[in-house]
Structure 1
């Protein structure tokens, strides 16, 4: 159901009231038409007089002063009770006058009612505690805030959104370590205080009552006492807490009592309320709650005149559910969405781009309109009702109090339009049920015999063996997998099946997609979360099936770590890679690590962050939203940030155990990491270089720091691994120390190093550590390369190395993009030889990135323009293809045995219409690059 346009929606909140009820005097006349308010007015003339002379704030201050007075009374319970009731009556009257005169809008009205309820709760709890202390049930305290007892405001009270006749929904808890009982047990004392508090608030006498108290939102109210310990509550929520209780706590806050104890409780409760992983099963659960509310609250159609403004279709609760459902799903990963007030929640969801701005503004206006209607219903006789009765004189009264005068028909039109709009937006959020049929024809998987129409539909979709597809789906639906053993899992998969088959067909490789999806769900311990997520997010489901068809390695990673699916729904997941920066990635990772308290917690958090970011980069390649020019730097930014953070974590751990290490250090990168050309499966070639100082500090912790760094980067934990780390490029390789002194580093490259080590040195880049030491290391490397320029056997050494690699690691074919003649390794050899040969005459050409180095060599006339173009094109094309293949395959890519779907996808990744043209382009590029290598370095084979 689509939202219905509303007549003049922008005027629906308070504008009619402001136009008609333009003064306190007019509001006074309207109050006389309602029994409850006219009674308050007659009994409290001082409130109206104060407002008429000093303004609405002065009138409301009367009730607050009475509450302050009541809070200071020690032993006169009857006087406390009287002051509470007088404050309630005067406060209600002042608020109603401000409301009907248009001096306060609905947000100010509900906030004032909540302040009145909150301060009343504080006074009543303090009086009850003092009474318990007099009876020696608890030890006397100077303030309620020091008692260990506290009240949590839930629902509308928690959000500062109470209506005129609201209950006070509170949960009373006590911290056993702070709550000091005496002659009674802590639990019994807390229960007695809670009973006394509720009685003081609820008991009706000749002065009325204060507020009704509802304690039923506490954990398991049928079994637990009305006051329980914080530990009992936490144990309950951890074991059997329900989604509706998580939803209720979105608005929860401490409103009275020991705020420090309350804060500690909420700190413990945060992982329960706000889950790290997106919880799309909660949508179905919350939808079920909504159905329960409809069944108990009378879920009437919109065209029925009698309307429950709170629970009815198109009512207040649907707006609140619209916001809270999305908060519940997204708030665990995005704290900025954890707001209590409905208006604030909608604004936060707009800022997060989860809700359309115009829809949010209209929902806020509709919410204000419906809250005003609710208030005017309750003004009649202070009844806890939300129903707009089908009684003409009562509807006319509400219309008049809403500012419509005698134009009841216009009021009816507006309320009907508001309901249609609200229910339309709400229904769009929950519209996830689908028929078990597809656009292409029958899709029936019940019964014993195959449905002929379904066989035909599957064949038209491209499945080669439709009967086997039906058998597989039947097995799933019968609970043949862990993911479908629950009734809920089977129901969700049944609903999802048409969409899955459609997306598989669209890949062009439906058999492969189905087979890999089967492997994927076979690895799941439960299917409800994943199936719910796929129903709620169709684009996610489509992307996932593309991965099944084209990137089985990515699909395998997802099956092993289903929590990775959460990252795909994050708002930042589709942000272009070229908009990232190292600083942003580093800041985000540091923020994640700051939440953890120890070494193990931080390295596990880094692994979770790394998995999500790696998935994001891989998916950008999969969806052809990025190529090597984007993906290589993106993988490298992630690695650089990870190395920097893990180095900080390692150093902190070493210094915690062994004391301060004042030595300076840097971490250098070689190879693909040095050139900012990492791919999905690259390892890290790094070196740790340090300066122990002069004189050297006696507690040399360089080796311990390096070992801890390697563990932080590569050790497997319950969250997996980060990278394979290779430190063999350090001086003397495995035989040398894991951390290299700056003096040893300099000495080694003055003459001891081999030619291949100088080639590796040409790609050195410092990624972390002391800036001054980094400059020294870079200067040493440049001088070493310049010195090597004069080495007479340089070209012979390089040719020998390339020929030996060709013999020992021959390419498997032209699509072995690294080792083939004219492949990536050939181009890197040509570039590195040219850099070393010309480093002395042209120091500016030393550059770790291959494409940038090619351009630098062209500018210095080391390469001709034609050579530079040929080398750049060949390198860029093959690097792009390698990036794609690294996420798509775990082995070698062989065109002859690969599917047409993956070949066509691979071609589209680099902008080619079909694979045959791409294949020819690869051959042509390799031929040109091979010719240049043969000219610059030599042939890969000799005559013998």
Structure 2
């Protein structure tokens, strides 16, 4: 078993410049040959070495503490720094002699460090107060006494009087505005200046070194609060967003410097926060989850690795502290005897009260002291704030020698045995908790330090910037986003974290998944309901993380509309999209008959159901590649359903003001809507045709108003969002024409005025809603118009001119912009439209791209190879666009797509990877452009 003994004698003479008296202190003589810092101290403070030899280390420690405690507040900054640094050097030398010789146990040594830190901090605070008062900023009449209303709380090791050899000191600086003296500055302005000056006196390095590093990060919300906070704001913070790890930190809180009465008054207000008499379910689960996230594996993997962070590593000091503190939080609210600041005292009381065995308390107390001794010897080497036994054998050999070991292998083995014993006790704590969903290692996001083991865990899970993620999540736990501003929201997040990070890792692109998750959480207006749903539905959680990894736009939408998640719970959500098992389409259609809804209510009702249905289609598309072939049809069916429902709503709205319509209307779709091939973010191209009753006086006004209301119903933004951007530029005369066109005008325009491109667009017109008889008339007229004889040469020339203008005025963003690029979707659509307009005597069936290409091959207008080229390319492009538009906000280069989106797109296309997809697109574009040029008789394919 590990033991601490004085350093073994070292060969060789003393280093040059050392006081010969060092030889009369055997442990220090050996240590100076091992530890550069101790050698430097002995050289700098020869009189202190002599005093240790003559008066004893205990006396030297006390004199140094007294020197700090008695420092005159009116001392200059420079002198204060010098006096305190020299006192610190003496404390370090004397305590090193007492520690290394095993004259003092670890607890006496740490108490000595802590007493000096208290004295130095108090002195620096008084000096700072005096110097600030000399500027007239605050009144400080008696510099021999602490300034009223300003104080420092000690937390962590200093709070427990267990300070390390080279520790930072964890303090929270506060002021009570009602007690602070008046001056030219307000309390909120002057208090931070005092604390900043105090910290500079302690931290600024000089030729004498530094006194103490001061860590202010345990104050409330350190990223957004000044270095010294008011007691009022601190109380509000802890009442509203205080976390369980902060309750743990305040177990060790005590007044360290300044106005003790004000400090004790504040700590009294903290008692209900720290020591809850009755822990609610969520608080207990949060404590369990925090424990579960630290060293989730219960086995001994890695415990024999000699590289070991004594403070934070598995089987280290933190596990012992956490072992005690979690049980203190659970039981201390009802039993004040457990409210002990020192870890070893807490272990003793837990055993006395029957919460742990005497053997457990005895073993952990003993090992705690040994680990603290190792920690001190690590820090004696170079006075660095480190706690690690590194992988370098030379460093560990020095620590082993300072611990009395002559063999590194035995030292490593004994340390490993200590760790195993600690971890066995630790792993039995809350033994009923489940593993971290396959995560190996730490997932610790509490406190202010970045846990090094968590950095390793996240890096191992594939995250590229673990420290940034830890910082973000720490902010979430501080209530920096709306979703975690309640205690339960933060507790739910703690419980979810292991599964979240495991799922993100499994996506293959954890960074993209994390970005989506962050967007989602940042956008939530509240968190409890959503986080509860995810906590109780792990399958949904996994599906969402998959979506986030490939579809950033869905993360944003779900954040703004978290109730969409509830649709995932519908029993029919994952059923075939051809079936309205969730009732979304039925609910939209029911608007037609529900005359109790006004115009805006009907708009919102349609939008609510549209969102759920649209989300369901995208969700299915991005999770099931089989949906790719029918996604365009499903998106179109949803658009049809919404337009059909809102058409009578718009008509009724106009009827209220103008009376019954004197005629009939038909709502027609063109473009992708007409060809039933919409994507997730398509606009809808519309044309409204009406036929007035015989003798009607003002049908044009009615149907113009009705059309305007319909466009509003479709495209207006309401509190429930919007449906589609409605585009009416394909109507006769485009933007210059009336929004509703009379049937006779429709016939006349296309017979006498329409351009070739308008006839091409007409091939995709179909009626979606309105009067059925008028719909039949419109479709009959369409077919008549498309069967009129035309000049084939002129049609091809006009189509080429139009394509050239598009290439010039609306070029492709990149070579994988498959809609606009040469050889892309537009070229295939142009070919099919030109074929229809130049072969009007043929039956083109439904006139969809697929059917026209198949029929063209049958008619001999395309070779079988040409038809196959165009068909396969169009289906390739359609699938590619379906995934891109379902997941992304814009057409970005495929190389910039999330990896998960690349994978599912390749899978849907039955290709190995995205490189194969890119190759297929490039090949298709070349082949399509060659066919386009041949069929439209273009002179060159360049």
Normalised to the residue count of structure 1, the TM-score between the two structures is 0.52
Residue correspondences, number: 516
Query: Does the Cα contact within 8 Å between 2:585 and 2:609 map onto a contact in 1?
Result: no
> Which ranges of structure 2 fall in alignment gaps of 5 or more residues?
1-278, 286-431
Q: Quote the Cα distance in structure 1 between the aligned partners of 2:583 and 2:766.
A: 20
Change (3 A) 1:848 1:536: farther
CA displacement, residues 766-804 of structure 1 (integer Å, 9 cap, x when unaligned): 111222211211121112122153465111111111111
1:896, CA displacement in angstroms?
Answer: 3.7
Alignment-derived partner of residue 892 in structure 2: 893
Cα RMSD after superposing both structures? 2.8
Q: Quote the Cα distance in structure 2 between the aligned partners of 1:611 and 1:550.
A: 19
Alignment-derived partner of residue 416 in structure 2: none
Change (3 A) 1:446 1:926: same
Change (3 A) 1:738 1:286: farther
1:480, CA displacement in angstroms?
Answer: 2.0
Change (3 A) 1:594 1:454: farther
Alignment-derived partner of residue 919 in structure 1: 918
**1:520 is paired with a residue of what secondary structure?**
helix
Alignment-derived partner of residue 602 in structure 1: 602
Query: Does the Cα contact within 8 Å between 1:636 and 1:676 map onto a contact in 2?
Result: yes
Question: What is the correspondence of 1:643-654 to structure 2 with a 5 Å cutoff?
Answer: 643-654=643-654
Question: What is the correspondence of 1:514-913 to structure 2 with a 5 Å cutoff?
Answer: 514-579=514-579, 586-591=585-590, 597-698=597-698, 700=700, 701-790=702-791, 792-839=793-840, 841-842=841-842, 844-845=843-844, 847-913=846-912
Q: Quote the Cα distance in structure 2 between the aligned partners of 1:511 and 1:716.
A: 33
Change (3 A) 1:686 1:859: same
Alignment-derived partner of residue 459 in structure 1: 459
1:873, CA displacement in angstroms?
Answer: 0.3
Query: Does the Cα contact within 8 Å between 1:666 and 1:767 map onto a contact in 2?
Result: yes
Q: Quote the Cα distance in structure 2 between the aligned partners of 1:689 and 1:437.
A: 60
Change (3 A) 1:754 1:647: same
Normalised to the residue count of structure 2, the TM-score between the two structures is 0.52
1:586, CA displacement in angstroms?
Answer: 4.7
**2:473 is paired with a residue of what secondary structure?**
helix
**2:630 is paired with a residue of what secondary structure?**
helix
Query: Does the Cα contact within 8 Å between 2:628 and 2:908 map onto a contact in 1?
Result: no
Change (3 A) 1:538 1:633: same
Query: Does the Cα contact within 8 Å between 1:578 and 1:630 map onto a contact in 2?
Result: no
Q: Quote the Cα distance in structure 2 between the aligned partners of 1:922 and 1:731.
A: 35
Question: What is the correspondence of 1:200-349 to structure 2 with a 5 Å cutoff?
Answer: none
**2:910 is paired with a residue of what secondary structure?**
coil
Larger Rg: 2
Question: What is the correspondence of 1:468-507 to structure 2 with a 5 Å cutoff?
Answer: 468-507=468-507
Query: Does the Cα contact within 8 Å between 1:621 and 1:909 map onto a contact in 2?
Result: no
Q: Quote the Cα distance in structure 2 between the aligned partners of 1:809 and 1:866.
A: 30
Q: Quote the Cα distance in structure 2 between the aligned partners of 1:930 and 1:580.
A: 40
Alignment-derived partner of residue 136 in structure 1: none
1:729, CA displacement in angstroms?
Answer: 1.1
CA displacement, residues 287-344 of structure 1 (integer Å, 9 cap, x when unaligned): 99xx9xxxxxxxxxxxxxxxxxxxxxxxxxxxxxxxxxxxxxxxxxxxxxxxxxxxxx
Query: Does the Cα contact within 8 Å between 1:593 and 1:605 map onto a contact in 2?
Result: no
Query: Does the Cα contact within 8 Å between 1:577 and 1:626 map onto a contact in 2?
Result: no
CA displacement, residues 617-650 of structure 1 (integer Å, 9 cap, x when unaligned): 1111111344443110101000111111100111
1:444, CA displacement in angstroms?
Answer: 2.4
**2:860 is paired with a residue of what secondary structure?**
coil
1:446, CA displacement in angstroms?
Answer: 2.9
Q: Quote the Cα distance in structure 2 between the aligned partners of 1:722 and 1:892.
A: 21
Query: Does the Cα contact within 8 Å between 2:663 and 2:699 map onto a contact in 1?
Result: no
Change (3 A) 1:437 1:873: closer
1:743, CA displacement in angstroms?
Answer: 0.6
Q: Quote the Cα distance in structure 1 between the aligned partners of 2:907 and 2:565.
A: 25
Alignment-derived partner of residue 935 in structure 1: 934
1:578, CA displacement in angstroms?
Answer: 3.5
1:435, CA displacement in angstroms?
Answer: 6.2
1:575, CA displacement in angstroms?
Answer: 1.5
Change (3 A) 1:433 1:611: farther
Q: Quote the Cα distance in structure 2 between the aligned partners of 1:746 and 1:657.
A: 30
**1:613 is paired with a residue of what secondary structure?**
helix
CA displacement, residues 407-439 of structure 1 (integer Å, 9 cap, x when unaligned): xxxxxxxxxxxxxxxxxxxxxxxxx98666753
Change (3 A) 1:438 1:552: same
Change (3 A) 1:490 1:669: same
1:468, CA displacement in angstroms?
Answer: 2.4
Q: Quote the Cα distance in structure 1 between the aligned partners of 2:584 and 2:762.
A: 27
CA displacement, residues 826-852 of structure 1 (integer Å, 9 cap, x when unaligned): 10011100011112x21x215342112
CA displacement, residues 74-103 of structure 1 (integer Å, 9 cap, x when unaligned): xxxxxxxxxxxxxxxxxxxxxxxxxxxxxx
**1:574 is paired with a residue of what secondary structure?**
coil
Query: Does the Cα contact within 8 Å between 1:523 and 1:559 map onto a contact in 2?
Result: yes
Q: Quote the Cα distance in structure 2 between the aligned partners of 1:689 and 1:584.
A: 31
CA displacement, residues 598-622 of structure 1 (integer Å, 9 cap, x when unaligned): 1110101111111111111111111
Q: Quote the Cα distance in structure 1 between the aligned partners of 2:494 and 2:618.
A: 30
Change (3 A) 1:437 1:622: closer
Q: Quote the Cα distance in structure 2 between the aligned partners of 1:580 and 1:513.
A: 30
**1:614 is paired with a residue of what secondary structure?**
helix
Moved more, 760-769 or 693-702: 693-702
